[in-house]
C-alpha cells in the first residue's frame, strides 16, 4: 500500500512542486501518472522511491511510514522497489549483465540464481548476445530495455517507471506492457509516468494527473 498524506515539496523554499498531495494506492494497483512536461512527475516518482524527503506531509511506502524511518529500513524498502529512470542511470563501467544483476547481488541472492534470472531476463529483452558489452555501446532503446530489466529482475513489490516507453518501438512497448501486467498480476504495484495518451487508452488504468502541484485522480478510463 502506498499513501501520501498532505505531502508538499518546495524547491529552494519558494517554488512549490507538490502542494498538499493526498494519494492512496492499494497493493497491486496500477496507475498512470500524467501531466505536462516539467510539472514534477519525475520528482513525485523520486519521492515515492525515497530519494527525496517531502517538505511536509507523510509518506507510507509498502505499508511502512518513511518520514522517520531508519536508514537501514529505507535501504531495505528500496530493495523492494524497482525503478526505471528516464535517463536510464546505468553504471557505465559495468557490463549489461552486471548492471542487470545489481539488485539481486545487493540482496545477497546466491550467484546461481543471479545467473539464471539474468539469462531469462536477457533473453526477454533480446540482448543476450550483448551481455558483456558496456552501456555506452548500446542504442537508446537497448539501454532502456537494460534499465527495465534491472528494475524488474528482483520482482519488486513496487515498480516506478518514468516514461519507460520513450525509446521503444511499438512491438517492444506491447511486450513491456505485457510484462508489467504480469508483474501486476503477481501483486506488484505499478506507477508509470507517461505522455503517451494513446498508450493510456490502449491499457486503461487509474490515471493520476499532476497539474500546478496538485494531484487529480481519475478512475480507469
Partner 1 sequence: MMLFKYKTSDGLKLHRALPGQFLIPLVAAMTFLAALSIAGAYASQQLAKRWSAGAASTIILQIPMPNESLSSSNQTTTLSTTATKTKIQSVIAILSTSKELDSFHQMTDKEIDELLAPWLHESIQSFALPIPAIIELHLKHDPPLSITLEKTLKQTVPDISIEQSNFWNQRLNALANSLQTSAFLALIIVISVAATVIALSTRTGLMQCKQTIEILHNLGASDAYISFRFANRSAFLASVGGTIGSVFSVPLLLFLTYLSLPFSSDPNWQALSNASWFYFLITTPFQLFGLFILLPICNYFIGWITTTIIVYFWLRRLT
Question: What's the min distance (Å) between Cβ of 85 and partner 1?
Answer: 9
What grid cell was written down for 17?
512542486
Least separation in angstroms between CB 61 and partner 1: 13
**Residue closer to partner 1, measured from CB, 13 or 72:** 72
Place of cell 509516468: 193
Task: Provide the binding-site residues for partner 1, judged by CB under 8 A.
Answer: 49-53, 71-72, 74-76, 78-79, 83, 89, 91-94, 98-99, 101-111, 114, 150
Identity of the residue, 41 or 49, whose beta carbon is nearer to partner 1 in the bound complex: 49
Query: 80: which residues sit within 8 A by CB, 6+ positions away?
Result: 62, 156, 157, 158
What is the C-alpha separation between 27 and 164, in angstroms, rounded? 21
Residue closer to partner 1 by CB (options 90, 168) is 90
Least distance between partner 1 and beta carbon 58 (Å): 15
The residue among 26 and 92 lying less far from partner 1, judged by its C-beta, is 92
Distance CA 91, CA 190 (A): 24
Query: Max alpha carbon distance in the chain (Å)?
Result: 51
Among residues 91 and 217, whose Cβ is nearest to partner 1? Answer: 91
Using left for φ > 0, alpha for ψ between -120 and 50, and beta otherwise, residue 6 falls in: left
Question: In the complex, what is the shortest distance from the CB of residue 98 to partner 1, in angstroms, rounded to a whole number?
Answer: 4
In the complex, least distance from residue 57 CB atom to partner 1, rounded to whole angstroms: 15
User: Positive or negative CA dihedral for 51, 38, 204, 86?
Assistant: negative
Amino acid at each position: 500500500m502506498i499513501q501520501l498524506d498532505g505531502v508538499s515539496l518546495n524547491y529552494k523554499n519558494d517554488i512549490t512542486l507538490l502542494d498538499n498531495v493526498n494519494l492512496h494506492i492499494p497493493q497491486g494497483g496500477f496507475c498512470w501518472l500524467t501531466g505536462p512536461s516539467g510539472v514534477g512527475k519525475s520528482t513525485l516518482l523520486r519521492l515515492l522511491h525515497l530519494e527525496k524527503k517531502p517538505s511536509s506531509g507523510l509518506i507510507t511506502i509498502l505499508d511502512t511510514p518513511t518520514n522517520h524511518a531508519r536508514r537501514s529500513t529505507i535501504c531495505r524498502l528500496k530493495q523492494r522497489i524497482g525503478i526505471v529512470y528516464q535517463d536510464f542511470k546505468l553504471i557505465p563501467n559495468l557490463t549489461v549483465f552486471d548492471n542487470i544483476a545489481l539488485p539481486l547481488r545487493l540482496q545477497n541472492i546466491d550467484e546461481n540464481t543471479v545467473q539464471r534470472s539474468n539469462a531469462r531476463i536477457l533473453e526477454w529483452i533480446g540482448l543476450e548476445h550483448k551481455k558483456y558489452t558496456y552501456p555506452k555501446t548500446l542504442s537508446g532503446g537497448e539501454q532502456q530495455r537494460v534499465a527495465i530489466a534491472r528494475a524488474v529482475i528482483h520482482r519488486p513489490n513496487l515498480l516506478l517507471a518514468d516514461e519507460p516507453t520513450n525509446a521503444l518501438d511499438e512491438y517492444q512497448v506491447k511486450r513491456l506492457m505485457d510484462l508489467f501486467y504480469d508483474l501486476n498480476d503477481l501483486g506488484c504495484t505499478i506507477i508509470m509516468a507517461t505522455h503517451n495518451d494513446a498508450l493510456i487508452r490502449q491499457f486503461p488504468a487509474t490515471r493520476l494527473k499532476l497539474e500546478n502541484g496538485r494531484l487529480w485522480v481519475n478512475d480507469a478510463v
